[in-house]
Amino acid sequence: MNFIRKIVKLKTKQNEGFYSDMKKLLNFTPKTIEYYQRAFTHRSLKKVDEKGIPINYERLEFLGDAMLGSIIASYLYKKVPNGTEGYLTQMRSKIVSREHLNELGKDLNLIRFVKSNITQENIGDNIHGNIFEALIGAIYLDRGYNYSKKFIYENVITPYVDIAKLEGKITSYKGLIIEWCQKKKKQYLFDIYEDTGNESIKHFSVKISIDGVMVAKGRATSKKKAEEQASKRVYFALQDEITKG
């Protein structure tokens, strides 16, 4: 019995600590702490409820993504009254890009709350953005739209959203290079191949050629990252030509 009491006491203390951390992080008092615990539960734990439904952050991530997108869209609609649909869509994409969401998650150090059977290095960098969106989903279920909006304004819009800077921000170098090549009627080729070398982790290399001339290379642990790295190098190699239109 004493052993059981100690376990219950320890669990209660841990819950109180998590509740206190959430209250400080959110800047308001959470009502249903279970939503937030779920927001930081990785699927590797294989937790399920009494109905066999998985308990992890993935469904909350879906919900948080929708809430974030709608609140950012509303902000931009009011902030830039003359913005076209295409302009507003592009600006929203820059704000909610995976890269930016990962930065937001890192700034809040959300990874410290994650419960997982996998080490952080093996989960991948996108975990930071995923749990940031899951946290927004938890806020929405717990306190509704206005509290979600408050959190997004305090942690995304007010500190980071600068319309003038966003207009000049490049979110996809690959997309920019392809668009420029198509506009200028240039032939482009992304030559992708596996390049493991002596490393245990699989790598991919990319060579980008324009009009038959190899301009830049990139190498990373995923095809997408390698393409983006190589495209960024192409951009800076041909920046004068590209920026002229």
Q: Which of 49, 103, 133, 199 is catalytic?
A: 133
Cβ proximity of 204 and 195 under 8 Å: yes
Backbone angles phi, psi at 136, to 5 degrees: -65, -40
Residues 6+ apart with CB under 8 A from 148: 67, 71, 136, 139, 140
Rg of the chain, C-alpha, whole Å? 22
Q: Are strands 188-194 and 204-210 parallel, antiparallel or unpaired?
A: antiparallel
Burial class of residue 26 (count of CB atoms within 10 Å of its CB; 0-12, 13-18, 19+): buried
Backbone angles phi, psi at 137, to 5 degrees: -60, -40
Cβ neighbours of 75 (radius 10 Å): 19
162 is catalytic: no
What is the rounded distance in angstroms from the CA atom of residue 242 to the CA atom of residue 245? 5
Tell me the C-alpha to C-alpha distance, in Å, between residue 231 and each of 2, 25, 177.
Answer: 63, 37, 7
34 is catalytic: no
Q: Is the backbone of residue 211 left (phi > 0), alpha (psi -120 to 50) or beta?
A: left
Tell me the C-alpha to C-alpha distance, in Å, between residue 206 and each of 28, 98, 229, 237.
Answer: 47, 21, 9, 16
Q: Which of 21, 49, 65, 85 is catalytic?
A: 65
As annotated, the active-site residues are 65, 133
